Amino acid sequence: MTTVLIVDDQALQRLGFSMLMEQYADMAVVGEATHGAEAVRRTADLRPDVVLMDVRMPGMDGIEATRRIVESGGNSRILVLTTFDLDEYAYAALRAGASGFLLKDAQPDELIAGIRAVAAGDAVIAPGLTRRLIDAFSDRFPGRTPDQERRLASLTQREREVLTAVASGWSNPEIAERLSLADSTVKTHVSHVLAKIGARDRVQAVIFAYDTGLVKPA
């Protein structure tokens, strides 16, 4: 069972999401919140698997709420919903620790698949869309920090190659084919990369690769 907290300041939007999830036996809406501060409190109390997070809300927005939830160290993962696929608020939310984002006009099956993917520890942003997002805001990268330098240096040459491939939008089968590796080996490398750089998922790994200059915006 995947538990979900719905965060949106629009009552009809919350109702629509709730009614959709009620149709699936493996999902349960455990609560709702109307703004960021309430989302932080309710996440701490309810510990949902996934927080379905709106961005633009009165008071504390979804970006700050995402940052606080992630920094709390809990296991709840954040799936951000936004109106535009290159919305800078969604970009900021990813930097704050969200596991991905979907458009609010996504098809119902896409939303459900996204929630399941995030709950399973995966990202839900298509690699091409991730690169478009990062390319659009590449001038905001602050440059490599000493901590990032240390984490990058901890990677083996093969792990750097795998991280570069992930950041370039390659799937695991594509990485396996292009680097002449077994699928299981690629999965192992990806897991090691995520652990060494401190990334929660592939989205955060992509951002790390751009932040450190390992991959350059197109």
- Write down the mean pLDDT value for the chain: 87
**Residue 101: CATH number of its domain:** 3.40.50.2300
pTM above 0.75, yes or no: no
Same structural domain, 20 and 99: yes
Same structural domain, 107 and 165: no
Write the secondary structure of the chain as one string of H (helix), E (strand) and C (coil): CEEEEEECCCHHHHHHHHHHHCCCCCEEEEEEECCHHHHHHHHHHHCCCEEEEECCCCCCCHHHHHHHHHHCCCCCEEEEEECCCCCHHHHHHHHHCCCEEEECCCCHHHHHHHHHHHHCCCCCCCHHHHHHHHHHCHHHCCCCCHHHHHHHHCCCHHHHHHHHHHHCCCCHHHHHHHCCCCHHHHHHHHHHHHHHHCCCCHHHHHHHHHHCCCCCCC
pLDDT category at 19 given cuts 50, 70, 90 is very high
pLDDT digits (tens, 9 = 90+) for 160-195: 999 999 888 788 888 999 999 999 999 999 999 999
79 in any annotated domain: yes
Total domain count, the chain: 2
Give the domain range for residue 78. 2-125
